[in-house]
Amino acid sequence: MRIRIVDAFTDRPFAGNPAGVLLLDDVFPDDDWLQNVAMEVNHAETAFAHRLPEGGEADWALRWFTPVTEVAMCGHATLATAHVLHTTGAHEGPVRFATRSGVLIATPGADGSVTLDFPTAPLTPVEIPAGVAEALGARPVAAFDTGPNVGDLLVELADEKTVLGLSPDHRALGAYSSRGIIATARADEPSRGYDFVSRCFFPNVGIDEDPVTGSAHTALAPHWSARLGRDDLTGLQASRRTGLVRTGLRGERTLLTGFAVTVVDGELRA
């Protein structure tokens, strides 16, 4: 079958977040095979999708696997899958994905971008956990639980420079949430084209640092929209590869917009 590697939340190769994408002919194979393929691809996520019968609430079924486990929500691999469907002609117009996080809609834009419609993460302020400053390498000014779909601890840091300079103890970070830590700060100079910065560390799903995380922006969007007083923002995820995510807070839904580029189109023989 065909396998693609797509860089998501970027408009150029070798940036953004790479995801494997496999469009299956029928139902999902057994979980062990799906996990083995994801382990072989060895990117943050590999997406598996198959077409659903017409007339239902969704057009395609979609699942996501890291190299070590299945996850409940993934933004960049959803964007990558929608990009493959649209650029290959397998689907035209908005596509509805049936997932573990409900029906997620991806809508192509006239400029080649894709906008994802995801549930907004419920943010709950929490006490800054003891030890998290030492594990992260910086002292948070606030901390939030992001709910079951995202499963991270979101921590706000003093400034952009602090986020960019983090060199955390990845193993120690795993003690503070089910997936990991989102570290964020307000942009020092919004004139550069982004309103806030973030970095995401997910040791509990086998990813020390995720390059660009769509699901994290369902928590970052309400956090920064409340602070900055605007529903439409742009976030820079300041990993080594970097990527931009445009966010639109719409109450219980968050819109995530970005570009994607196919960098590998090959054949899986296993």
Residues with catalytic roles: 45
What six digits make up the tokens of 136? Answer: 């992260």
In the chain, at which residue ranges do the beta strands (DSSP E only) sit? 2-8, 17-24, 45-51, 60-65, 70-71, 95-99, 102-108, 114-119, 124-126, 142-145, 152-156, 180-186, 196-202, 207-210, 232-237, 243-250, 253-258, 260-267
Q: DSSP label at 203? A: G
Which residue matches tokens 């400053």? 133
CA 136, 73, 186, 245 torsion-angle sign: positive
Q: Give the total residue count for the chain.
A: 270
Distance CA 220, CA 216 (A): 6
